[in-house]
A and B are shown apart, each in its own frame.
Chain A
Amino acid sequence: MSTITVLGLVLFILMTIIGGKTGATAFLSLIFNFGLLFLAVVLISWGFPAMGVSLVIGTIILAFTIFFGEDNELAAKTAYIAALIVMVVLILIIFPVEHWIMAQGFSLEDSEDLEGMSLTIGVSFVGVAVTEAILSTLGAIAEASIAIAAGLSEIIEQHPQVTTKRLYIDGISVGKQIIGTTFNTLFFGFFGGFLALFIWFSGLHYSFGSVINNKIFVAEVIMVLFSLMGVILTVPVTTWVMTVEHRRNQGKLKD
């Protein structure tokens, strides 16, 4: 068996032991998301517009990630609504920025990997960069919105009479604590993965000026920053959606 298969099996077993049914479905969502991601590339390679593909696939990925991983209905619903709102706001930022910064496609550092390839493939690489940026933020948005929604719904469960004001304070407080480390998830996730590139930059003595204008570096950094913006926006948006939901549910209980 290949290493990927065995690692996948180990992960599946662990997720099922520790997470029970939720764990197993979360693993399924991972597989679906992989399928969706690959589908996104294939659709773009068939000539579908990158923007439309990322919107549709993004909405579905968020749904799979949030509803398959979360068994509390209130938390999942809240998280999904909040995540969709944040995704739309982010697209409005990402689209113009990618067209301005033009950090799409490949750079001279990629030359070796591109040998013998035809680059004139008739697909706009700026569009591909937009898709990359949008899809890479989705995980962070979903994660943050779930973390806050789950924390708040846990408090509601333990404390059904909690006031919406108190809930808002708790939401921001949980958000403040998770935001610092979510930054680090993103920071390590992106830059851990680019250790090799940084060793390349340092080894070949790139000047500071060359690095901050380098296509690949800039593309990576703005992807981290888009994800950060997503996470930051998610904190107040999720808390707000949760207070609205909570107030509505309280209203229902009184009737």
Chain B
Amino acid sequence: MKQRIKQRGGLWLTIIIVVVGLIGVGLTRFNAGFYRQTVAQVTHVTASSRTKTTDEFENKDVDAVQTVTVRILNHKHQGQTYRIKNSYTQSGAMDQAYRRGDQVFVRIPANRHSAVTIQGLKRDTALAFVVWIAFALLLLIMRFSGFMAFLSVALNAALFYAAIQIDLATNGGHVYTLFGILAVIFAALTLWLVLGWGRQMWVTFGATLAGTGLAVVISLTVFAVTHERGVTYESMQYVTQVPRPLFLVETILGSLGAVMDESTDIVASLFQLKTERPDIEPNQIFKSGLQIGHSIMGPLINVLFLIFMADTFAMTLLYLRNGNNWGYTFTMNMSLGMVQSLISGIGIVLAIPVASWLASRLMPGEEVKPS
């Protein structure tokens, strides 16, 4: 009876949180006052012209112009309306057509004779909506553990932010030390939040650090032997500091999550198995661990591989349509993602025997107790 009341209470709480969240999403339509930039809402759009274009690589596109009427929502021009010409291409690589109801950032120059321009779309409502869907699903299906998972992501994001501030304050002088320590804290914090303090957490933590560490040692050895041939650091995007350390740190952080994920999967399944069959032998546990690992490693390597590669899609496409051959396109866009995927893959594979072995030896039960 008590249990049922508690469950129903939990459901109501979840529903209330979800509904409040949706209201919050709606409120982002009215948050213009919080922005320093001038925000406006599109009230009317008329299409003016369309011209077909062909570039030097025979790509056919359409240049279009639309007149966008906007009403300013904040600051000193609030309530005024402007008509702005917006030219865009049909493919929309850097520009876009605006629709009625869109909220946009505009720049109103002090000089009356210069034109008012649209700086870009205000995306916060849409973003909040997507966050809301994810959060609602998480709470509805996972309840309390969903909340913990979210908390761990939020805490990690805060740590990540702090580390970036320290990195900037030191001008990127201690990238390895800084993010190395960060990686260890990340692992401990995340596993503690997801698994709770206990044997299962420490077994997983040990496997994570050992797997990632081994992968880094092996990769640096390969780098040294091959003189990093074909690793095009110069093609790294958004770089404002020395690229090589940044790249290595990105790789370590990227693979850390996956190695942690896998170690948890293996250890969790083995502890579950132990609950189902308390009399199981350590060797049998080790074998089961390898068995589970076999199934997980391929898909897990693919997770990171697809994430790293999907990011390069737009740029790769642009290279291909700009008359570059496949080899050059690959080198300039995909080779770094490939190196990252391979290093992560090595960590993921090595974590399997480590996690299975640690779990089989450190499992609670009669076999482990020295008698």
Residues on A lying within 8 angstroms of B by beta carbon are 1-4, 6-8, 10-11, 14-15, 18-20, 22-23, 25-27, 29-30, 33-34, 37-38, 41-42, 44-45, 61, 65-66, 68-72, 75, 93, 97, 100-107, 109-110, 113-114, 117-126, 128-129, 131-133, 135-136, 138-140, 142-143, 146-147, 150-151, 154-155, 158-159, 162, 170, 173-200, 202-203, 207, 209-210, 212-213, 215, 218, 220-223, 225-229, 232-233, 235-236
Bound form: Cα–Cα A110–B311 in Å: 13
Bound form: Cα–Cα A231–B88 in Å: 36
Instruction: Evaluate contact between B239 and A179: CB separation under 8 angstroms.
Output: no
Give the Cβ gap from A161 to chain B, nearest Cβ, in Å: 11
Residues of A near B36 (CB, < 8 A) are: 207, 209
| B residues 354-370 in Cβ contact with A at 8 Å | none
A139-B299, A173-B272 known; A151 vs B292 contact (CB < 8 Å)? yes
Instruction: Evaluate contact between A184 and B152: CB separation under 8 angstroms.
Output: yes
Give the Cβ gap from A69 to chain B, nearest Cβ, in Å: 3
Instruction: Evaluate contact between B123 and A213: CB separation under 8 angstroms.
Output: yes
Instruction: Evaluate contact between A177 and B264: CB separation under 8 angstroms.
Output: yes
Instruction: Evaluate contact between A113 and B237: CB separation under 8 angstroms.
Output: yes
Please report whether the interface of chain A is mostly helix, strand, loop or mixed according to DSSP.
helix
Number of A-B contacts (CB under 8 A): 461
Residues of A near B190 (CB, < 8 A) are: 180-181, 184
Residues of B near A132 (CB, < 8 A) are: 310-311, 313-314
Instruction: Evaluate contact between B295 and A136: CB separation under 8 angstroms.
Output: no
Residues of B near A3 (CB, < 8 A) are: 222-223, 226, 228-231, 339
A4-B230, A135-B310, A159-B277 known; A30 vs B345 contact (CB < 8 Å)? yes
Bound form: Cα–Cα A94–B357 in Å: 41
Residues of A near B269 (CB, < 8 A) are: 147, 150-151, 154, 174
A102-B123, A203-B240, A213-B105 known; A65 vs B298 contact (CB < 8 Å)? yes
Instruction: Evaluate contact between B127 and A10: CB separation under 8 angstroms.
Output: no
Instruction: Evaluate contact between B302 and A42: CB separation under 8 angstroms.
Output: no
Contact with A along B120-143 (1 / 0, CB 8 A): 111110110111011001100110
Residues of B near A218 (CB, < 8 A) are: 123, 126-127
A4-B338, A199-B164, A209-B34 known; A19 vs B226 contact (CB < 8 Å)? no
A6-B222, A190-B307 known; A170 vs B317 contact (CB < 8 Å)? no
Residues of A near B186 (CB, < 8 A) are: 184, 188
Listed stretches B9-17, B41-49, B77-85, B318-326; interface member: B318-326
Residues of A near B164 (CB, < 8 A) are: 195, 198-199, 202
Instruction: Evaluate contact between B223 and A34: CB separation under 8 angstroms.
Output: no
Q: Is B19 an interface residue (CB 8 A)?
A: no
Residues on B lying within 8 angstroms of A by beta carbon are 34-37, 53, 55-57, 59-61, 63, 89-94, 96, 105, 120-124, 126-127, 129-131, 133-134, 137-138, 141-142, 145-146, 148-150, 152-153, 156-157, 160, 164-165, 167-168, 172, 179, 186, 190-191, 193-195, 218-219, 222-223, 225-226, 228-231, 236-241, 243, 246, 249-258, 260-261, 264-265, 268-269, 272-273, 276-277, 280, 288, 290-311, 313-318, 320-322, 326, 330, 334-335, 338-340, 342-343, 345-346, 349-350, 352-353
Other than the known A101-B130, A184-B261, A192-B256, what 4 A-B pairs have Cβ atoms closer than 8 Å? A23-B349, A105-B92, A122-B61, A202-B165
Instruction: Pick 5 A–B contacts, CB within 8 A, sort by A.
Output: A22-B298, A123-B317, A176-B145, A195-B164, A233-B141
Which residue of A7, A106, A133, A175 is within 8 Å of B346 (Cβ)?
A7
Residues of B near A110 (CB, < 8 A) are: 237, 315
With CB as the reference atom, state the residue of chain A lying closest to B318: A117
Which residue of B122, B218, B288, B290 is within 8 Å of A10 (Cβ)?
B218
Give the Cβ gap from A148 to chain B, nearest Cβ, in Å: 9
Give the Cβ gap from A150 to chain B, nearest Cβ, in Å: 4
Bound form: Cα–Cα A202–B61 in Å: 36
Residues of A near B342 (CB, < 8 A) are: 4, 7-8, 10-11
Give the Cβ gap from B195 to chain A, nearest Cβ, in Å: 7
Instruction: Evaluate contact between A11 and B256: CB separation under 8 angstroms.
Output: no
Give the Cβ gap from B294 to chain A, nearest Cβ, in Å: 4
Give the Cβ gap from A136 to chain B, nearest Cβ, in Å: 4
Interface centre among B148, B195, B236, B253 (most CB of A within 10 A): B253
